[in-house]
Amino acid sequence: MSSKRGQGYPIRPDGEEEYFTRNGKKNERMLYIMAKTPFGRLAASDHAMHAVAEMTALDQAFEQLRSRMNDPMKAWEHLRGLSKIENKSAMLEEAATK
Q: Model confidence over 66-78: pLDDT tens digits?
A: 888 888 888 888 8
* Total of domains in the chain: 2
Confidence of residue 1 (pLDDT cuts 50, 70, 90): very low
Residues 1 and 44 in one domain: yes
How many Cα atoms within 13 Å fall on the side-chain side of residue 75?
Answer: 0
What letters, b where the CB count within 10 A reaches 16 and e where it falls short, cover 66-95? eeeeeeeeeeeeeebeeeebeeebeeeeee
Residues 39 and 58 in one domain: no
pTM: 0.39
Residues 72 and 82 in one domain: yes
Three-state helix/strand/coil letters over 59-97: HHHHHHHHHCCCCCCHHHHHHHHHHCHHHHHHHHHHHHH
Whole-number pLDDT of residue 21:
78
Containing domain of residue 42, as a range?
A: 1-50
Residues 90 and 69 in one domain: yes
Residues 11 and 41 in one domain: yes
Residues 15 and 30 in one domain: yes
26-81: per-residue pLDDT in tens? Answer: 888 988 998 899 988 888 877 777 777 888 888 888 888 888 888 888 888 888 88
